[in-house]
C-alpha cells in the first residue's frame, strides 16, 4: 500500500551544527489523516516540514511522499513535486510583500504547470473567490498583503496553500498569533477546507490545547531519537 508520507532511517544535520537535529527511523502518515505534530521550540518541527517539502535534503534515509522518493530527486524535481502536490503554510507566512492578496494566492498556480493542470484554469477566479469567501478575506483580495492584519495574512497563506488542490498541507504553527476562540474557529475552517479540497494535513505546533481537534497526535520526541 502506498503511504502519504513514509520516512525511513532519516538523518539531518545542519552544516554548521555539531550534531544531528533529526534522526527518525520510521514515520508514516496515511491519506486522509490530520496529524498534530507536537514538539517544544527548537525541537526540529520546521526542519522536518522543510525536509518533507523537499526544501532541505537529508544526509541519510528515504523520504517518500505519495510513493515518490524525494531523496532520489534533484532540487529542480523536488521543486516541481512540491509545486504539484504540496501546500505549505510557513511559520512566518512567506507572503510576497509587493504583490496583492490575489496575486499571492495565484502564485503556486502560476509557478507550476502541473498544479495548473489539476484545476480548470477558466474557473480559477471562482475557486479563489470560494476559498477566500470561506476564509473571510474576499473583501481584501486586491489589497497589498502588507496592508493586512496578521490574522488576515494567515488566512491568505491558507488560501495560497489550498489553491490547486494539493494532496498534503504542511502547516507550521499558523495559529500561534490567535486567541483560543479564533484558534478553534480557524482550525475548523482549515479542516473543512482540507476535506472539501481532498487534502491531508500535517500540522506542527507547541500548543497542546488544540491537539484534541486532530485525528492523531504525534510527539516529535517519540519519533526523533537523536543521541546527544
Ligand X SMILES: Nc1ncnc2c1ncn2[C@@H]1O[C@H](COP(=O)(O)OP(=O)(O)OP(=O)(O)O)[C@@H](O)[C@H]1O
What residues line the site for ligand X (CB under 6 A)?
Answer: 14, 16-17, 21, 39, 41-47, 91, 206
CB of 39 to Mg ion, least distance (A): 9
State the minimum distance, in angstroms, from the CB of residue 188 to ligand X: 23
Smallest gap from residue 133 Cβ to ligand X (A): 31
Q: Cα(first)–Cα(last) distance of the chain, in Å?
A: 35
Beta carbon nearer to ligand X, 60 or 195? 60
- Residue nearest to Mg ion according to CB distances in the complex: 46
Query: Is the distance from CB of 147 to CB of 171 less than 8 angstroms?
Result: no
Contact letters for Mg ion, residues 22-51 (x by CB under 5 A): -----------------------xx-----
Strands 168-172 and 22-29 turn out to be: unpaired
Tally DSSP H helices, then E strands, for the chain: 8, 9
Residue 206, binding choice from Mg ion, ligand X, none, Cβ under 5 to 8 Å by partner class: ligand X
How, if at all, do strands 5-12 and 22-29 pair? antiparallel
The helix/strand/coil state of 21 is: coil
Q: Which of 5, 15, 17, 16 is nearest to 61 (CA)?
A: 5
Q: Which residues bind Mg ion (CB under 5 A)?
A: 45-46, 91
Amino acid at each position: 500500500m502506498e503511504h502519504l508520507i513514509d520516512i525511513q532511517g532519516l538523518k539531518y544535520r545542519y552544516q554548521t551544527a555539531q550534531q544531528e537535529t533529526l534522526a527518525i527511523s520510521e514515520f508514516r502518515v496515511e491519506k486522509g489523516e490530520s496529524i498534530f505534530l507536537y514538539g517544544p521550540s527548537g525541537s526540529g518541527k520546521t526542519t522536518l516540514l522543510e525536509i518533507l517539502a523537499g526544501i532541505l535534503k537529508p544526509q541519510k534515509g528515504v523520504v517518500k511522499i505519495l510513493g515518490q522518493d524525494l531523496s532520489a530527486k534533484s532540487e529542480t524535481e523536488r521543486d516541481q513535486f512540491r509545486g504539484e502536490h504540496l501546500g505549505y503554510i510557513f511559520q512566518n507566512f512567506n507572503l510576497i510583500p509587493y504583490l496583492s492578496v490575489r496575486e499571492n494566492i495565484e502564485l503556486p498556480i502560476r509557478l507550476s504547470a502541473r498544479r495548473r493542470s489539476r484545476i480548470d484554469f477558466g474557473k480559477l477566479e471562482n475557486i479563489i473567490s470560494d476559498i477566500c469567501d470561506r476564509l473571510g478575506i474576499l473583501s481584501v483580495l486586491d489589497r497589498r498583503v502588507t496592508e493586512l492584519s496578521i490574522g488576515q495574512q494567515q488566512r491568505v497563506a491558507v488560501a495560497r496553500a489550498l489553491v490547486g488542490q494539493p494532496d498534503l498541507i504542511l502547516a507550521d504553527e499558523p495559529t500561534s498569533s490567535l486567541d483560543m476562540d479564533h484558534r478553534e474557529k480557524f482550525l475548523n475552517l482549515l479542516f473543512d477546507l482540507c476535506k472539501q479540497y481532498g487534502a491531508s494535513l500535517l500540522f506542527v505546533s507547541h500548543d497542546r490545547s488544540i491537539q484534541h481537534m486532530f485525528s492523531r497526535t504525534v510527539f516529535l520526541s517519540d519519533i526523533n531519537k537523536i543521541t546527544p
